[in-house]
Structure 1
Amino acid sequence: MLGGGGSFRGARDFYEHNNSNSIPRSNELIKSPFDDSDISPFPSSSSTAAATANQPIFPLMDTDPDPDHSFFEPASTSPFTRSPWSSHLNSDALPSPADDTSFLPNILMGSLVREEGHIYSLAAVGDLLYTGSDSKNIRVWKNHKEFSGFKSNSGLVKSIVIGGGKIFTGHQDGKVRVWKISSRDPSVHKRVGTLPTLGDYIKCSMKPSNYVEGRRRRSLWIKHFDAISSLSLSEDQSFLYSASWDKTFKVWRVSDSKCLESIQAHDDAVNTLVSSIDGLVYTGSADGSVKVWRRELQGKGTKHFFSQTLVKQECAVTALAVNDDATFVYCGSSDGVVNFWEREKSLSHGGALRGHKLAILCLATAGRLLLSGSADMGICVWQRTAAEHICLSVLTGHTGPVKCLAVEKDSEAGEGERRWIVYSGSLDKSVKMWRVSEQPPAAFQKQPSFMPECSPTAGLLLSQYIAIKALFNLESISSDS
């Protein structure tokens, strides 16, 4: 596992390189661009997902724990009467489910587990959750149960976005695949295209000027010649953006799947990309920079132009997020720090959030909340106030790095409540579901000294309470389809 603080220039998406269980990355794509017969649909499993939610939680520490001593001193500050290292919990020391839950605005709802691959991508829409893994499968979950799935035989699924009635998946082989839900059977997903399309590939290959220098050989500019790291849709869902380890991002028109632009964006791999409602596109790279690109109308088309560089640092940029009204931009790095910029008339650096011990691997926003997932296996929940960002809690329970996050509004929230369901995907092969609120924990409102800063250690008290306050547990399902 990589520690924070070092330079990752030239490292590409560094965590796949350092995860011994992940698929090794080949030096070049050996599959023909014309060979795309990669569809292998599989039936939905009748079994339901998941792992028990009330397993013991272990904080991340630099030294080995002492099982005879509670982590918190004095012991009266802990909800446990026994050591937090013990899996035998004393339920008498905890409020009953009928008690007032104002103490706990963020709770673990359950886990989805299928022992087939590490989770690299998530997307939530309506009552459906899509999960992508290095097993090449895209699973579809509904009401916390496996609903359906589809498969591509082309490497791990690194990114999923949904819009315009289509599902877009970015893959290790440098291609984007497009799927639609069958109108006859909502559990059936059919591939309706691959980007670039075969027609565009053949047409483009006729002109020598359409070839650019690749890592080992010349390649057409409309095709990524390295793994796709990130996908994002424009605010009106008319454009799809794909970022790649080949140092470029490409712009695709959704209506006809045509590649409009390929932009040489960075000096090293583009690890992350996000578009905002104001038409700006942000790219983050292993070269340590975050760049801003603006979209402008040109005749009947559009073109993207470089606008500014937000930061240039030694460590790799690994995750980006923009809030709903595009007033805050967040950047996560391999040193475990989240920097943010605030927009008034222009973007200005607002500060840095330090709550993780290892690299930031994913970011997501929900209302006034920011969620950061890390290689340290924790998720920090930050709340934006008028003056600063404060840490509400740390969600722990994963036993591997947290690789991806997805957020949707909580349909059961009361009137005036600002509450979300958060899904976290991990290299421990599980997806966990959390109910997260903007309401700070009552205990921390009364005693803010409990959590002076956001860290997996400081958040242990709340995290332990989260683990045993699960709303439901699902039985683990077999890895056999």
Structure 2
Amino acid sequence: MEFYGKGNLWNFVEEERRNMHFTRSLSFSTDQNVSEPHESPFVSPKASSASATSIPLSPMSPETPWKLSPMHASPSPSLLYHCLASLHRYEGNVFSIAISRDFIFTGSESSRIHTWKRPDCTEVGHIKASSPDVRAILAHGRILFTTHGDCKIRVWDVSVTEKFRPKKITTLPHRNPFFLFPKKNSHQHKDYISCLAYNDGEKLLYTGSWDKSVKVWNIFEKRCVDSFVAHEGHINAIVINQQDGCVFTCSSDGAVKIWRRVYGESSHILTMTLKFQLSPVNTLALSSSPSSCFLYSGSSDGLINFWDKEKTSGRFNHCGFLQGHHFAVLCLATIRELILSGSEDATIRVWRREEGHCFHSCLAVMDGHHGPVRCLAASLEIEGLLVYSASLDRTFKVWRVKLLTPEKAAMEELVVTNDQQTEIEECKMSPVLSPSWVEKKIQANHFQ
């Protein structure tokens, strides 16, 4: 079991970045350090072509691009997947992914927010801000929220027009125009803003930070309406139940907390603390429907704890945990009864919750990244499930996942070759982590 102290994981990231060699094109090297004094909301795809290059997939059997899930050695898999696109990122690690009805947005160490068209994933340009380190992104309708290294939030209008022409609406905290000189805003976070959540009913934006606080913003009034210290460590994730307005936060202090807004006021009160592990909690996901509500948390010990909400009392009861990842779980995403988890072990696991009870089964272990999977997003399309993932190997990948009934599984099995079966079994035995990352990880575990 591994416990991460402050900055321990990121120290690994920095060392790995220095050891891994990425081929940089001359055109990018000449402009990557140019200062960016002004925010330019839009840059055309041609201008950004040097920063993202499509990488062809490895040769596969001509019969089918699909891979059997490594979790299934039987001839009748219930899930198939394959990678549609793999894009190299030369601007540093990708920290965040957000999807809207029309676009996919990715944020990284640079000040550029790259934008891709759904569902074909063609790049339409990028939004350029004056501050780098885009740690969190949230898309809601035509509005995009982004957080930056200057500890501020930027709000963009990304309405669909003939051409992709985003426009910055405001920066939070909003600077008072009556002040002639720049002044430190008392409502500004004091460290990285790591996570975002939006209450659609109340039109409130929630931000969680490494400064251990949560702030609540009224978007229409462009002001902070509440601020409270929520944890004893870095706040890593925040989610909202849109049905009742409950706010869930998690932290490096190992706790998951539930908050509720005081009726008729802006302040928030703590209603419950969920703590079943000593390990830091890195990510949260909520799977909510009119008939059920499940909360999932991923922690640095590689476990995914989950809770079920009682219909009568509204309390969350711990139901167990999902075990399978070798290292820390860094990101989660839910869509209907499916749960996707990305890990420091460079794999993505797909879990399914059985109807009517808490039993979960692992349907797939998707590999292809060569570093920790930092963020995930998923959407339902006509042709199946699309999964978007980004890793600290500086790549952004798009996967298509197909769930099969037993009858369809038997038909699909006819077109999956024996060579693919062998390849899958090898992947099961050896995740595709970079050798230098594995060596550092083993040494760290040995000395603890």
TM-score when normalising by structure 1: 0.71
Q: 1:54 aligns with which of 58, 64, 81?
A: 58
Alpha-carbon offset, residue 282 of structure 1: 0.7
Q: 2:359 aligns with which of 380, 388, 405?
A: 388
Aligned residue number for residue 467 of structure 1: none
Asked if 2 retains the 8 angstrom alpha-carbon contact of 1:410 and 1:421, the reply is yes
Alpha-carbon offset, residue 297 of structure 1: 2.4
Q: Secondary structure at the match of 2:331?
A: strand
CA separation of 1:99/1:255 partners in 2, compared to 1, >3 Å: closer, same or farther?
Answer: closer
Q: Secondary structure at the match of 1:297?
A: coil
Q: Does 1:196 align with 2:190?
A: no
- For 1:112-168, what per-residue CA distance to the aligned partner results, in whole angstroms no more than 9, with x for missing partners? 334222211001112311111112210001122111101123221111101142110
Alignment of 1:30-45 (within 5 A): 37-39=38-40, 41-45=42-46
Asked if 1 retains the 8 angstrom alpha-carbon contact of 2:66 and 2:81, the reply is no
What is the one-letter code of the residue matched to 1:50?
S
Q: Does 1:165 align with 2:145?
A: no
Larger CA deviation: 102-111 vs 140-149: 102-111
Alpha-carbon offset, residue 185 of structure 1: 5.2
Asked if 2 retains the 8 angstrom alpha-carbon contact of 1:369 and 1:381, the reply is yes
Aligned residue number for residue 320 of structure 1: 284
More helix by share: 2
What is the one-letter code of the residue matched to 1:368?
E
Asked if 2 retains the 8 angstrom alpha-carbon contact of 1:394 and 1:463, the reply is no
Aligned residue number for residue 334 of structure 2: 365
CA separation of 1:366/1:463 partners in 2, compared to 1, >3 Å: closer, same or farther?
Answer: farther
Whole-angstrom distance in 2 between the partners of 1:175 and 1:49 = 30
CA separation of 1:388/1:184 partners in 2, compared to 1, >3 Å: closer, same or farther?
Answer: closer
Aligned residue number for residue 400 of structure 1: 371
Q: Does 1:227 align with 2:192?
A: yes
Alignment of 1:102-251 (within 5 A): 103=77, 104-142=79-117, 143-181=120-158, 186-199=163-176, 220-236=185-201, 238-251=203-216
Asked if 1 retains the 8 angstrom alpha-carbon contact of 2:66 and 2:80, the reply is no
Q: Secondary structure at the match of 1:108?
A: strand
Aligned residue number for residue 286 of structure 1: 252
Whole-angstrom distance in 2 between the partners of 1:117 and 1:144 = 20
Query: Percentage identity across aligned positions?
Result: 36
- For 1:259-316, what per-residue CA distance to the aligned partner results, in whole angstroms no more than 9, with x for missing partners? 1111100111111111112211111111111111012322xx4332111101153211
- For 1:316-356, what per-residue CA distance to the aligned partner results, in whole angstroms no more than 9, with x for missing partners? 11000001326100000011111000112321001111111
CA separation of 1:137/1:22 partners in 2, compared to 1, >3 Å: closer, same or farther?
Answer: farther
Whole-angstrom distance in 2 between the partners of 1:97 and 1:7 = 39
Asked if 2 retains the 8 angstrom alpha-carbon contact of 1:401 and 1:426, the reply is yes
Larger CA deviation: 361-370 vs 103-112: 103-112
Whole-angstrom distance in 1 between the partners of 2:276 and 2:177 = 36
Q: Does 1:377 align with 2:343?
A: no
Alpha-carbon offset, residue 393 of structure 1: 0.4
Whole-angstrom distance in 2 between the partners of 1:319 and 1:392 = 21
CA separation of 1:21/1:175 partners in 2, compared to 1, >3 Å: closer, same or farther?
Answer: farther
Q: Does 1:355 align with 2:324?
A: yes
Whole-angstrom distance in 2 between the partners of 1:165 and 1:399 = 34
What is the one-letter code of the residue matched to 1:42?
V
Q: 2:295 aligns with which of 323, 329, 338?
A: 329
Alpha-carbon offset, residue 220 of structure 1: 5.0
Q: What is the number of residues matched between the two proteins?
A: 381
CA separation of 1:16/1:223 partners in 2, compared to 1, >3 Å: closer, same or farther?
Answer: same
Aligned residue number for residue 20 of structure 1: 14
Whole-angstrom distance in 2 between the partners of 1:121 and 1:220 = 26
Q: Secondary structure at the match of 1:157?
A: coil
Whole-angstrom distance in 1 between the partners of 2:55 and 2:123 = 14
Alpha-carbon offset, residue 108 of structure 1: 2.1
Q: Does 1:6 align with 2:10?
A: no
Whole-angstrom distance in 2 between the partners of 1:23 and 1:237 = 42
Q: 2:309 aligns with which of 343, 361, 383?
A: 343
Q: Secondary structure at the match of 2:10?
A: helix
Aligned residue number for residue 460 of structure 1: 427
CA separation of 1:433/1:343 partners in 2, compared to 1, >3 Å: closer, same or farther?
Answer: same
Whole-angstrom distance in 2 between the partners of 1:173 and 1:99 = 43
Q: Give the gaps of 5 or more residues in structure 1.
A: 25-34, 56-88, 207-218, 413-418, 447-455, 465-481
Whole-angstrom distance in 2 between the partners of 1:98 and 1:434 = 10
Whole-angstrom distance in 2 between the partners of 1:396 and 1:180 = 35
- For 1:59-94, what per-residue CA distance to the aligned partner results, in whole angstroms no more than 9, with x for missing partners? xxxxxxxxxxxxxxxxxxxxxxxxxxxxxx6x4xx8
